[in-house]
Amino acid sequence: MRTRTERRERLVPHTVDGQTELVPEPYDIEVPIPPRDWDHIVLIAALGIVGAGLLIVVVWSTASIGELLVRTDVAAVVAYGAATGFSLGWIVCMALEWLARYDPVRVRRPRKAGHVFLAADMAAVCVHGWVADSLKVGIIGAVLSGGAKALWTLLLDHQAAPLDPRTQQWVNIRRGKIGGRLALAASLRQLGRVEKQALALEGALRSMPDASPDEQPNPADGPDAAVLPMARTPLTTKDAVRTAWDSGLRDEDQIRRAASGALGKAISPDTVSRYVRALKVGA
């Protein structure tokens, strides 16, 4: 058995002038070297080969389909950018297959969608070969895409380890409970945000003057034509902050938004803090 030397440390007592302390002391130890994990090495090599093949397929498909789209007088940047969507579609579906490899039910949809995107990609490559008077080259390019997809499917099937029915049901129940907690947390956060907006709006509406339905404008030639109307007192910043405070708002940021909405202009946080401190002292 092969071994290797490793440097480690241990605490040993050391006494100086009658005072004992634990100090680190280095020492060497021989540990066995585990044998090479050839299964893991082969798997990594297979992943590298499949990844390199996917890169080649994406470049080939993008070049072929991009040249096909350029024939329609589309800008080259737009044409080649759109061409990447044919390959990236089924590659993204393969990534989703990998994430759902332990659940045979969830893996079906991305696998079917990947086949659809792959068929569109292969058809576009064949059309380009036919338009360019080289149908054989187009078919070869389409076979490359199909081969990359087949290799990935084989690799995925090798890595997938479907659970037994009862364990799969347990996982589904746990996933549902955790998903419900996430959904509830997101809903509560959304409700909290809407409630803050409602409080701010209510505070702004309370600060607005009430229009009397019975109030009618005086005619120009009426008995009160010579009476000048009294100018309304404009709402001050202090009044707006007090109104927001009286409406039940206590957070300074909420008070500032409500008062700014009532005044129609922004109020500085320092001003709001000063008035809030005065209101707290008065309370």
Q: Note whether residue 280 is domain-resident.
A: yes
Are 59 and 23 in a shared domain? no
| Interval 78-83 mean pLDDT | 88
Classify each residue of 36-52 as buried b or exposed e, where b means 16 or more C-beta atoms within 10 Å of its C-beta.
Answer: eeeeeeeeeeeeeebee
Are 92 and 10 in a shared domain? no
Give the tens place of pLDDT for each residue, 126-144: 998 898 888 888 898 889 8
Number of domains in the chain: 3
Q: Note whether residue 201 is domain-resident.
A: yes
Q: Note whether residue 15 is domain-resident.
A: yes
Are 136 and 110 in a shared domain? yes
Mean pLDDT, all residues of the chain? 83
Are 150 and 196 in a shared domain? no
Are 130 and 71 in a shared domain? yes
Structure tokens at 224: 């009160």
Split at pLDDT 50, 70, 90, the class of 197 is: confident
pLDDT given at position 208: 66
Structure tokens at 136: 């054989």
Split at pLDDT 50, 70, 90, the class of 280 is: confident
Structure tokens at 116: 């659809």
Q: How far apart are the first and last CA of the chain?
A: 82
Are 63 and 132 in a shared domain? yes
Are 152 and 46 in a shared domain? yes
Lowest mean pLDDT among 32-41, 182-191, 217-226: 217-226
pLDDT given at position 165: 84
State how far the Cα of 21 lies from the Cα of 11, in Å rounded to an integer: 9
Residue 212: pLDDT over 80: no
pLDDT given at position 230: 43
Are 129 and 68 in a shared domain? yes
Q: What is the crossing angle of helices 237-246 and 165-206, to 10°?
A: 130
State how far the Cα of 125 lies from the Cα of 141, in Å rounded to an integer: 6
pLDDT given at position 26: 93
Split at pLDDT 50, 70, 90, the class of 221 is: low
Q: Note whether residue 92 is domain-resident.
A: yes
pLDDT given at position 234: 65
Q: Note whether residue 95 is domain-resident.
A: yes
Are 50 and 14 in a shared domain? no
Split at pLDDT 50, 70, 90, the class of 232 is: very low
Are 23 and 132 in a shared domain? no
Are 45 and 154 in a shared domain? yes
Q: Note whether residue 198 is domain-resident.
A: yes
Within a 13 Å sphere around the CA of 255, how many CA atoms are in the beta-carbon half? Answer: 27
Residue 110: pLDDT over 60: yes
Q: Note whether residue 219 is domain-resident.
A: no
Q: Note whether residue 168 is domain-resident.
A: no
Domain residue limits at 12? 3-32
Are 13 and 64 in a shared domain? no
